[in-house]
Amino acid sequence: MKQLFRSMGLTGLLVIFLIGSLAPAAPMSAEASEEEDPFTRAFWVQAFEDGLKSPEQVDQLLADVEAANMNTIVAQVVRRHDAYFNSSYLPFTEDPNMTEGFDALQYLIDGAKDKGIEIHAWIVLGPMWHPIYGGAPEAEEHIYNQYGPDATDDETWVTKDYNGAVANRMQPYLDFGHPEAREHAINMVKDIVSGYDVDGIHVDYIRYQEDGKGYNPTSLARFQEETGRTDRPLANDAEWIEWKTHQIDTLMKRIYLETMNLDMNVDVTAAVLSWGFDDPRENDFTDLDPVQRAHQNWEKWLQEGYLDFAYVMNYDPEATPGRGERYDQWIEYQKDLERTRGMIIGPALYLNSIPDSLKQIKRAIEPSPSGNIAEGVSPYVYNVWSNDNRPFADLLAALTVPNEDNDFEAPFTEKVEPFPTPWKDEPVGHLLGSYSSDLSGEKVVVTRGVRGEEVAVGKIDGSGIAGFTDLEPGNYFVHVDGESTRVQVKKGSVTAFEQ
């Protein structure tokens, strides 16, 4: 991986393998970087405000991104399981401000082609609905009406608390321990990858609803069957938290492998959490709030190759005492993290004045005290750009022209290419196995060589799928429930098989 391996003093690529897998590498050192090196400069663009809802808005968005010397748009085209494009899977959005029949995603793709701007389709996975729409969705096929809070226990996909209650009936949340909810999330991704020439897929809310949720009846039954327990675990039960974290790990891996199986050139990225006031530099990541409260172990995803880039939501108001320090702790940890994939820092424009946002953007770009840097920065959000009611033109100027807002040092004075995905060019491949759903939770062991050396271990998910990333090309045996299947891993591809 170009930047991630340079800190070892190499000018080219250095690949270090665990037995059969790409090992986490040291982060990129600033010593080897140059100003013109590729670096992702992205805008998140959400669909709760204007920006994507008409040809005129998208034209303005593209012009603004180009003028800001940025190179990536992360566009929210699935807001609450509704489509801002012509989907073959989801109902068209009922957003009253959306131009009727307007395919915002295709219009974005067409408009960005000659501007050097990448288009990443942002899909919100967890939240099922939002009261901004008014009542329940009108479309009968919307999942809220089919599998929402009014569905029976054996049909609902909604997560619940320990007492079996839904926290907010107008904002229900999917339970990703439910196999059908997981397949729905994957189908939303496949719908876009198979139908649109996007540069990337960006998944959001790929986690549990925070603070003690997960008690969907189907999900709880799966947990009990796989662990042999008969009780209703408390919210802080370690085995329960570990099981739920595994559900999110395997969902992220499934999304990555299913996307790669359709198109290896599509980047898979995720918006991930930086919650809590414990210093990530001094604590095990699994003890921090992203894992303990939302069961999202994105550190593991970056180290084991479950996605291409993590877009960390580093949302801190600089003017609030202690929050600037918290921001700095997290971004230092992010830059220094050993990983096999890319790191994007995401400061919050909407929580800050323009001068404070520029301070955070510049700190995101500069090296850590150890001399390491991230692969990009993605301010949140294009259509809520400050908390001081100043015009967008002021932010645009501060990003590109030295002035008082940026202490006369603008971060984006020249255009650069987005950071690439050199790990996809490495001599590795992936496995995606299909099994009977009756084997949910069963251990899967991958071995290689005449001595049957173990190279990877996993579990079958609730849909009967198990996947493995970053394996050296060659022949392997996959062992499940006393049966073995020979498979071949090929460079730069996903080997899908049934066992």
Would residue 14 count as lying in a domain? no
Instruction: Select from 425, 448, 483 the last residue of a domain.
Output: 425
Work out the pLDDT band at 41, boundaries 50, 70, 90: very high
Work out the pLDDT band at 30, boundaries 50, 70, 90: low
Question: How far is the C-alpha of 147 from the C-alpha of 131, rounded, in Å?
Answer: 17
Question: How far is the C-alpha of 116 from the C-alpha of 66, rounded, in Å?
Answer: 8
Q: 293 and 267 share a domain?
A: yes
Work out the pLDDT band at 35, boundaries 50, 70, 90: low
Going by their DSSP bridges, the two strands 429-434 and 465-471 should be labelled as antiparallel
Q: 418 and 442 share a domain?
A: no
CATH of the domain at 448: 2.60.40.10
- Structural domain that includes position 440: 429-498
Average pLDDT of the residues of the chain: 94
Q: 371 and 224 share a domain?
A: yes
Q: Is the pLDDT of residue 1 over 60?
A: no
Taking a C-beta distance cutoff of 8 angstroms, is the pair 464, 436 a contact? Answer: yes
Q: 312 and 402 share a domain?
A: yes
Q: 399 and 484 share a domain?
A: no
Q: Enumerate residues 6+ apart whose C-beta is below 8 A from 80.
A: 124, 127, 128, 129, 130, 133
Work out the pLDDT band at 36, boundaries 50, 70, 90: confident
State the Cα torsion 167-280-387-365 to the nearest 10°: -140
Percent of the chain with pLDDT over 90: 91
Is the Cα torsion angle 121, 124, 128, 130 positive or negative in sign?
negative
Work out the pLDDT band at 134, boundaries 50, 70, 90: confident
pTM: 0.95
Q: Enumerate residues 6+ apart whose C-beta is below 8 A from 391.
A: none
pLDDT at 131: 86
Residue 356, SS3 per DSSP: helix
Q: 334 and 477 share a domain?
A: no
CATH of the domain at 130: 3.20.20.80
Would residue 195 count as lying in a domain? yes
The model's pLDDT over 184-227, given as tens digits with 9 standing for 90+, comes to: 999 999 999 999 999 999 999 999 999 999 999 999 999 999 99
Work out the pLDDT band at 133, boundaries 50, 70, 90: confident
User: CA Rg, the chain, in Å?
Assistant: 22
Instruction: Select from 391, 425, 459 the last residue of a domain.
Output: 425
Would residue 247 count as lying in a domain? yes
Of 463, 494, 466, the residue nearest 481 (C-alpha):
466
Residue 430, SS3 per DSSP: strand
Backbone angles phi, psi at 130, to 5 degrees: -150, 140
The model's pLDDT over 164-193, given as tens digits with 9 standing for 90+, comes to: 999 899 999 999 999 999 999 999 999 999
Q: Is the pLDDT of residue 231 over 90?
A: yes
Q: 212 and 288 share a domain?
A: yes
Residue 453, SS3 per DSSP: strand
Residue 327, SS3 per DSSP: helix
Q: 358 and 407 share a domain?
A: yes
pLDDT at 401: 99
Work out the pLDDT band at 8, boundaries 50, 70, 90: very low
Q: 330 and 447 share a domain?
A: no
